[in-house]
Amino acid sequence: MPYFDYNATAPIRPEALAAVVEAMQSVGNASSMHHPGRQAAHRVDAARRQLANLLGCSPGEIIFTSGATEANNLALRAAFTAGSPLITSPVEHPAVLETARAVTVRSPEDLVLLPVGGDGLVELDALDQVFAVRRGGMVSLMAANNETGVLTDLRVVAKAAREAGALVHTDATQLIGRLPVDVAELDVDLLSLSAHKFGGPQGVGALYVRRGSPLPHRPLLVGGGQERGWRAGTLNVAGIIGTGAAAEAAARGLGEEAERVAALRDRLECLVAGALPGCRINGRRDQRLPGVTSITFPGVPADAVLAAMPDVAASEGSACASGAPTPSHVLLAMGLSRADADSTIRFSLGYATTDAEIEYAAQAVKRAVTQVRAALAEADG
């Protein structure tokens, strides 16, 4: 089945699958002192180095978690102090937005949402205006949007935040393993990621904490003191080893792979736009992830289009919010009407996407949209 939902989850990479299966065949708690325990700890260390290589950081700057949701919670809950601003944006993933709302529930004036343009870019000039009135606190802005792929210029964020004495966190869940990254260059204090977005197993993520960053030690989970006291609980040894294998595989030729995926995405957009004039691509096109396109088909409900092409796995708005019949908060924040937001489909591609899948999907979308339009016209007539 042509798979176009890499932003929800990517297929596990063969290297990661093999590593997980192999790891699950060995016994060993990474905290135990005997030989199997030491062996497990040793392999976790190797995986930590593999992930650190993908990020350009040192292994000691990584805290393994259960995913990006936990990493975002840990970052925001540790860094936020009532009375200081928590600056974020309305297009963040709920894992940031809901955490930001939760920590500021007793001091709502501390939550500052920056404006977003029609192109999906957060208006970073507004940061200086906020800092002119209130200094310190923290900024949390996503590196790449999960629905549109729009990228944030984190260096601009970091520069403004440093001058104002604020910590910088980024939810980089959609960026890591999709474009080459060097966290030192990004100059952020904290960065969240999730392994399953780059071909690792689900249920494993990490928070990068820059060495020397003045983050108060406030773990979410206390207990056995694992992860240098930042995240108690027996390590998910097999998941972490699979994450390391996926990170190593993703890092290999990442620049060329990003170009290949961008060319496939551009081809899909070109075929769809050529076949269905009137459709609109959402988000700043020259500042996006390579593998994502968000396309609005005005007047054509996305759920009907998706139902008319059951053999193509794409998603309506954000898959993370699926189940709830609410329109995409990201598209609404960009100024789309509710009707247009409900007529938008996200296609997300990745390392295993082929030319043939693109050709197939373009044909399927053309047929499905035409079919839904005809059914609507008939119902109207």
Q: Which residues have C-beta within 8 Å of that of residue 323, sequence separation ≥ 6?
A: none
Secondary structure of residue 215 in the 3-state scheme? coil
Which CB, 68 or 245, lies closer to ligand PMP? 68
Q: What is the DSSP letter of 280?
A: E
- Return the bridge partners of 64, or none: 206
Q: Write down the least CB distance from residue 195 to ligand PMP, Å.
A: 8
Q: Write down the least CB distance from residue 194 to ligand PMP, Å.
A: 3
- Which of the residues 306 through 345 are near ligand PMP (CB under 6 A)? 320
Using rule CB under 6 A, residue 146 touches ligand PMP: yes
Q: Write down the least CB distance from residue 144 to ligand PMP, Å.
A: 7
Question: d(Cα 7, Cα 22) in Å, to the nearest integer?
Answer: 27
Using rule CB under 6 A, residue 12 touches ligand PMP: no
Q: Write down the least CB distance from residue 65 to ligand PMP, Å.
A: 8
Give the Cβ contact number of residue 108 at 10 Å.
8
Q: How far does the chain reach from its first CA to its final CA, in angstroms?
A: 35
Q: Which residue has the tokens 């979308």?
A: 365
- Which of the residues 31 through 70 are near ligand PMP (CB under 6 A)? 67-69
Which CB, 207 or 300, lies closer to ligand PMP? 207
With residue 309 as reference, give the H or E element that holds it: none
Give the Cβ contact number of residue 281 at 10 Å.
14
CB distance 139 to 88 below 8 Å: yes
- Return the bridge partners of 168, or none: 139
Which CB, 121 or 142, lies closer to ligand PMP? 142
Which CB, 28 or 201, lies closer to ligand PMP? 201
Q: Which residue has the tokens 């928070």?
A: 207
Residue with nearest beta carbon to ligand PMP? 67
Q: Write down the least CB distance from residue 46 to ligand PMP, Å.
A: 23
* Residues in contact with ligand PMP, shown as a per-residue x/- string from 67 to 106 under the rule CB under 6 A: xxx-----------------------x-x-----------
Using rule CB under 6 A, residue 247 touches ligand PMP: no
Q: Which residue has the tokens 């792929």?
A: 149
Question: d(Cα 198, Cα 344) in Å, to the nearest integer?
Answer: 24
Q: Write down the least CB distance from residue 150 to ligand PMP, Å.
A: 12
Which range binds ligand PMP by CB under 6 A, 42-50, 52-60, 167-175, 330-338?
167-175
Q: Write down the least CB distance from residue 215 to ligand PMP, Å.
A: 19
The one among 87, 116, 121, 142 contacting ligand PMP by CB under 6 A: 142
The one among 174, 282, 294, 344 contacting ligand PMP by CB under 6 A: 174
Which CB, 40 or 333, lies closer to ligand PMP? 333
The one among 104, 194, 226, 344 contacting ligand PMP by CB under 6 A: 194
* Residues in contact with ligand PMP, shown as a per-residue x/- string from 259 to 298 under the rule CB under 6 A: ----------------------------------------
- Return the bridge partners of 192, or none: 171, 207
Q: Which residue has the tokens 């108690």?
A: 232
Q: Give the residue numbers annotated as catalytic, written as ranges.
A: 320
How far, CA to CA in Å, does 167 sit from each of 51, 88, 208, 214, 253?
A: 23, 12, 13, 8, 32
Quick one: CA dihedral 180, 184, 187, 188, positive or negative? positive
Secondary structure of residue 74 in the 3-state scheme? helix
What is the binding site for ligand PMP (CB under 6 A)? 67-69, 93, 95, 142, 146, 171, 173-174, 194, 196, 205, 320
